[in-house]
Amino acid sequence: MEKITGKFLRYIATDTQSDPESETQPSSSRQLDLLRMLDNELKALGISSSLDEYGYVMATIPSNCGKDVPAVGFIAHVDTSPDASGAGIRPQIIENYDGSDIPLKGVPGLVLKVSEFPELAEYKGQTLITTDGTTLLGADDKAGVAEIMCMAEYVVTHPEFKHGDIKIGFTPDEEIGRGVVKFDVGKFGARYAYTMDGGKIGELEYENFNAASATVHIQGRNIHPGYAKGKMLNAILIGMELNALLPVEQRPEYTEGYEGFFHIVSFNGTVEEAEFSYIIRDHDIDLYEKRKETMKKCVDFINAKYGENVASVEIRHQYYNMRKEVEPHYHIIEKAVKAMEMEGITPIIRPIRGGTDGANLSFMGLPCPNIFAGGHNFHGKLEFVPVESMEKATKVILNIISLFAE
């Protein structure tokens, strides 16, 4: 069997960055390179697998337990975040990590510091995979992909391992909120599923943000600066003023737990015209709706001050909190808890300060909590993953399968 490190390194070598500006599915054709690879690897293992026109790999390992047990699925996404490059990843492998700061050798002076990331100390003696500082790593979610593929390889090479129907799914475009827009739950065939898309070892999540994106457009009026008095409307400055109307303490860097936020993610503009992009998040549905109204009120204030239609906003819903869809099937959480405890892992049950494909799948009739994949510092150049966490995640998957087959 190929070790999980080998699988992970092969998968991150393929650039699969999704593209939020694209309207295609998948949003970038490069995601198909890895999806085809996974489809072929599953088939090479003798597993029935297909890759459809929308970029979904679906596979089935038939039951061998002789019992009528629910089909259980495991899902991971292949795309990496648009927030940092995923091309030409040069990972660093630190064996028997000694607990000290880790220089990221591709960028002089860039260091993973224990003082800034104290969780590093938890992995002393383990093998860490980091970036070299020039790209993200791709553990979100190629760690999950590798864990599921290791599970599949184990099951088919160990016929004595008893299990019900096992469903495997790999999706594109999760990072841009479109991962399962065209996912056929009926075709997938699972009664319950788990996304392998969480962070540090032990994480187990069945609550997530309600989420929306907001694009604010400012139409300014550019006049020669020598003659601008009383005439110019500087779209950049007006946009900055609108942003300042949003509560500072409700930015991501000041919030935690169940606290929601407004997050400006990009800005592009000139004096004549500017565009500001935001994400809006809250676990509570009423507060989520109020946040959207707050954004609209900021736009109304700007228009009242500078003139009608100077500012406009388009708000797009992305996903809802999955809790109300998962909680009635709490036994799937209990199985995940027991599966972790069987490996000596203390479950960390807390709300996701983000979202997963499982959120939308849960509202599509497939209850789908989220389990740790093992990585840290997702979406950036300081990303890392302990190999031992990925190995444990694979064992947790196998334990869940066994518990469903009992």
Residues annotated catalytic, as ranges:
79, 174
Strands 348-349 and 203-205: parallel
Backbone φ/ψ region at 343: left (φ over 0), alpha (ψ -120 to 50), beta: alpha
Strands 203-205 and 92-94: unpaired
d(CA 377, CA 359): 21
Q: Enumerate residues 6+ apart whose C-beta is below 8 A from 211.
A: 177, 279, 280, 281, 317, 318, 319, 320, 355
**CA-CA distance, 360 to 49, in Å (whole number)?**
23
Contacts made by residues 42-50, CB under 8 angstroms, sequence distance 24+: 42/149, 42/152, 42/168, 45/152, 45/153, 45/156, 46/156, 47/152, 47/156, 47/168, 49/168
Contacts of 376 (CB under 8 A, 6+ apart): 117, 119, 139, 199, 200, 383, 384, 385
- In the Cβ-directed half-sphere of 325, how many Cα atoms lie within 13 Å? 21
- Could you tell me how many helices (H) and strands (E) the chain has, helices first? 10, 17
Tell me how far apart the alpha carbons of residues 208 and 321 are, in angstroms, rounded to a whole number: 5
Percent of the chain as helix, strand, coil, to the nearest 5? 35, 25, 45
- Give yes or no for a contact between 171 and 346, defined as CB atoms under 8 angstroms apart: no
Q: Is cis: bond before 26, omega within 30 of 0?
A: yes
Amino acid found at 255: T
> Of the candidates 29, 36, 62, which has an alpha carbon nearest to the alpha carbon of residue 48?
62
d(CA 265, CA 201): 28
Rounded to whole angstroms, how far apart are CA atoms 205 and 230?
A: 54
Token pair listed for 232: 């110019």
